[in-house]
Structure 1
Amino acid sequence: MLYDKPATTIDEQIVLLAERGMGGDQALMRRWLETVGYYRLSAYWLPVELPAAEGQTRTKIFQPGTMFEAIVDIYVFDRKLRLLVMEGIERIEIALRSRWTNRLTLAHGSHAHLAVSVFQSGYDHIGLLSALANRAKDSNEVFVEHYRQKYAEPFMPPLWIVTELMTFGELSRWFALTKDLKVKSAVARDLGLPSREVLEGTLQLLSYIRNICAHHGRLWNRQTVKRLPNIKRFKDDLVVVETRTSQGIQAQPANFIYNALVALVHMLRHQSPDTSFAQRVTALVKTRSPDQLRAMGFPTDWQARPCWSA
């Protein structure tokens, strides 16, 4: 099938929205369509379209009373939520760098990352090491240049330097490939999680969410591809649902942003008991309607649950 949809002007987009049942101030529409774009905004008005009939993908007709101002409101909320989530993930990422680097170098030396024997799966290790070596070679960071000027061997800086060049996704993969289970288990406890397996699964989810935030993607009502592990110590806060897996029906945490926020609250409190993260999330999400809270996976009694009422 050939894609043959023509580009449209802002005026044409405003007319199209009106024809489909959206009201609102046209000056506001023009400003947002010019600066944010029709396609990006369409992800936010999709939930207020009338349900599609069987065999139909979308109606592209809005529910009666839909106003453009409401779309702007949820868009702005989503942006604020992304900023809060990015802040939380950043703090977990930095804590992971520090804890993993310290424990691994104490156990295996300053250049543990160069040793194939310290990591699982030689090919994966070689690929990660090659990417890291190229980044270190091209880096203009003062701490990298200082190492190059002062030391000839080893060819790469120590682990506590090169971890600063890793993305969160790369750091998560380096952690997952680490063979020393004592180191991994200790790092999991450092971050407030019960086991290395739980930490690995949690890092996969947080890395996925971080990428959404970094690319300014829609976060608030997204169903994530990755799921949080079923962390028993968080059972009074998590929303768990039955899902069909290759092993049959299993109880797993729902794949909405709510459960990721629960994990962040607990992990951040473990690092810093006086963190205000939970209070700021609460203040933000309390501005949302019950329908919007459900779309984020929030249970009706969420404010009474331990991590939010503490």
Structure 2
Amino acid sequence: MGKTATTVEEQIVLLQSRGMVFDCEIEKVKETLLDIGYYRLGFYSYYFQDRMTHHFTTHVHFNDIIKLYYFDFDMKMLLLRYIYRVEVHFRTQLLYYASNHYKDNNTWYVDPKIVDNSILKEFNTIYFILKTKNKSLIKHHVKYPSDFAPAWKVFEFLTFGQIYKLFSSLKNTELKKQIAAVYGFREVSLLDNYLISIINIRNICSHNGVLFDYNQPIGIKRIPNLKYRIKNWNNTNLNASLRLILFILSKVSKNRANDLEQEIKILLETTSENELVKNIINSKIKFDL
């Protein structure tokens, strides 16, 4: 999209000039453009265009792009639901093991003897925002005018990324190993790699990135499970991330992992009637479970 705003009528003319075929009423096209947005749809139009000229390849229909967009949207909503289950479980493990390890210090998460100093300045800012806007913490500080609330009151309102940062900043290596052992890992570095990868997917799903073509910036380490282990050389694409999410989810609930696996397969099957969209999705995800 250029530097000047365009009307939906102008957007339609531009799409037609690039070879787009409209297989629905123009009023429906306008409604869709005003609903999703021309710029956002451009992230999906890209896969149907010549990289140099931006012209659409032969017989590309408007509904092809919409189909790809909604597939990606549905996959993001699906994964968010199950990643939330992983997030809650990890939050609970960190809170349980750390709070019981430091029984006499219910604000261990801001103790420089327990967590690395590098996170304290950032977390103080986060906490200040929470205690001025979060109703539960506002009530707590009215009743108990202390600097910080107990960990179990605070952690419920932290993001997955913030929870992970607190975990990674723990100075007690044995405590981190104890939490990693909950998931069957002897090495904390393995849990670190897996959590970062899942948080990356969670952020793509939450912030409107293109998911089906997403590649992890750092490869996912070998998954110690024959069913979910990545079978090919590609340990960064969405197939690798899906296998990882399923693996970690199976540590939380095998039934939920089975449910997610089936829902992914059903969602992929919805593209089978559109050969063009199906080929684009398969070429990027390469889901092979």
Aligned residues: 277
Q: What is the aligned partner in structure 2 of residue 128 from structure 1?
A: 122
Match status 1:265 vs 2:246: yes
Distance 1:12 1:198, change over 3 A: same
Distance 1:236 1:277, change over 3 A: closer
Q: What is the aligned partner in structure 2 of residue 10 from structure 1?
A: 8
Unaligned runs of 5+ in 2: 272-277
Structure 2 counterpart of 1:261, one-letter code: L
Query: Of 41, 52, 60, which residue of structure 1 is paired with 2:54?
Result: 60
TM-score under structure 1 normalisation?
0.82
Q: What is the aligned partner in structure 2 of residue 119 from structure 1?
A: 115
Query: Of 201, 208, 211, which residue of structure 2 is paired with 1:209?
Result: 201
Q: How does 1:45-124 map to 2 (within 5 A)?
A: 45-50=45-50, 52=51, 58-109=52-103, 110-120=106-116, 122=117, 124=118
- Return the alpha-carbon distance in structure 1 between the equivalents of residues 204 and 156 of structure 2: 21
Q: What is the aligned partner in structure 2 of residue 190 from structure 1?
A: 182
Q: Deviations over 1:141-183 (max 9, x none)?
A: 33x2443233344x21111111112121111111111122222
Q: What is the aligned partner in structure 2 of residue 277 from structure 1?
A: 260
TM-score under structure 2 normalisation?
0.87
Q: Which has the higher contact order (CA 8 A, sep 6+)?
A: 2
- Return the alpha-carbon distance in structure 2 between the equivalents of residues 48 and 192 of structure 1: 43
Secondary structure at 1:149 match in 2: helix
Q: CA deviation at 1:236?
A: 5.7
Match status 1:29 vs 2:29: yes
Q: What is the aligned partner in structure 1 of residue 211 from structure 2?
A: 219
- Return the alpha-carbon distance in structure 2 between the equivalents of residues 129 and 221 of structure 1: 33
Q: What is the aligned partner in structure 2 of residue 176 from structure 1?
A: 168
- Return the alpha-carbon distance in structure 1 between the equivalents of residues 133 and 263 of structure 2: 36
- Return the alpha-carbon distance in structure 2 between the equivalents of residues 28 and 239 of structure 1: 43
Structure 2 counterpart of 1:113, one-letter code: Y
The answer to whether the 8 Å contact 2:75/2:267 transfers is: yes
The answer to whether the 8 Å contact 1:132/1:165 transfers is: no
- Return the alpha-carbon distance in structure 2 between the equivalents of residues 227 and 269 of structure 1: 21
Cα RMSD after superposing both structures: 2.2
Secondary structure at 2:90 match in 1: helix
Identity fraction in percent: 24
The answer to whether the 8 Å contact 2:177/2:187 transfers is: yes
Q: Deviations over 1:242-291 (max 9, x none)?
A: xxxxxxxxxxx532111111111111121112211111111112333244
Secondary structure at 1:6 match in 2: coil
